[in-house]
């Protein structure tokens, strides 16, 4: 990457475009002053044609996807091949795995639903007092939910639906959300940015996203999974 920094602008841009076709690369835009140098490596790009990921969750044996058609799909995490579709009663906008079952946010409502991971049967419904929900994740015994009305992350107690706090975030919109156990990750497609925040919403770092159509995030086993509406899912490993 150092060679790119000393090369003319046209050569650097050409080099970055050429690298985009590779599965294994280190992503770094030398002309983005806000992006961390040598931010991450794309370990693989899963081609999931016919699926436009909106949100992601990882259950250990499957990568779960809510797509633009409001389907809940289980994919092979190594190949991206579809394993099965989970029939659910309501139109989901986000998905999370709590270690046993799945949680879904119902698109453009303030409702969260826990469903059986095997048959999609509804287990519990949480009707929150406010919000218009999208992407979500589960971490440290709490649900982290993207609220479009306030453009913030709500921390919700899954036992009773209480909103414990609201976390402001720096992007214009939340196109993907996940928690790695200590930090919150936000992706915004229009800005082409990945943001890493602490639990108080303080910006820890920001990175350039792998494309202009990213949507949906999940974190598992040291890997950040990033969906793309063009029919791709990136496996990112940060340095």
Instruction: Give the pLDDT confidence of 68-118 residue by residue, as tens digits.
Output: 999 999 999 999 999 999 999 889 999 999 999 999 999 989 999 999 999
Determine contact, residues 157/196, Cβ cutoff 8 Å: no
CATH number of the domain that residue 127 is part of: 2.120.10.30
Q: Is 121 helix (H, G, I), strand (E, B) or coil?
A: coil
Rounded Cα distance between 74 and 117, Å, is 10
- Give tens-digit pLDDT for 3-38: 333 333 332 322 223 333 334 344 444 444 454 445
Rounded Cα distance between 221 and 201, Å, is 23
Q: Is 189 helix (H, G, I), strand (E, B) or coil?
A: coil
Rounded Cα distance between 205 and 38, Å, is 13
Q: Name the residue range of residue 31's domain.
A: 24-238
Query: Does residue 181 form part of some domain?
Result: yes
Report the candidate in 128, 139, 133 with the shortest Cα–Cα distance to residue 151. Answer: 133
Query: Does residue 14 form part of some domain?
Result: no
């Amino acid at each position: 990457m150092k060679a790119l920094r000393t090369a003319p602008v046209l050569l650097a841009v050409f080099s970055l475009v050429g690298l985009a076709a590779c599965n294994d690369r280190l992503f770094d835009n030398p002309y983005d002053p806000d992006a961390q140098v040598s931010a991450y490596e794309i370990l693989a790009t899963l081609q999931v044609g016919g699926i436009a990921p909106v949100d992601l969750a990882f259950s250990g044996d499957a990568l779960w996807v809510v797509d633009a058609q409001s389907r809940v799909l289980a994919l092979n995490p190594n190949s991206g091949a579809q394993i099965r579709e989970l029939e659910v009663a309501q139109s989901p906008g986000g998905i999370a795995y709590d270690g046993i079952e799945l949680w879904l946010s119902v698109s453009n409502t303030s409702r969260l639903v826990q469903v059986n991971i095997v048959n999609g049967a509804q287990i519990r419904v949480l009707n929150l007092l406010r919000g218009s929900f999208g992407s979500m994740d589960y971490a440290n015994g709490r649900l982290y939910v993207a609220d479009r009305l306030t453009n913030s992350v709500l921390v919700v107690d899954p036992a009773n639906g209480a909103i414990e706090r609201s976390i402001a975030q720096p992007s214009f919109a939340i196109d993907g959300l996940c928690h790695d156990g200590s930090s919150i990750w936000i992706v915004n497609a229009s800005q082409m940015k990945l943001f890493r925040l602490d639990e108080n919403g303080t910006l820890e770092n920001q990175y350039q996203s792998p494309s202009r159509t990213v949507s949906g995030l999940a974190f598992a086993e040291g890997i950040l999974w990033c969906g793309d509406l063009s029919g791709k899912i990136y496996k990112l490993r940060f340095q």
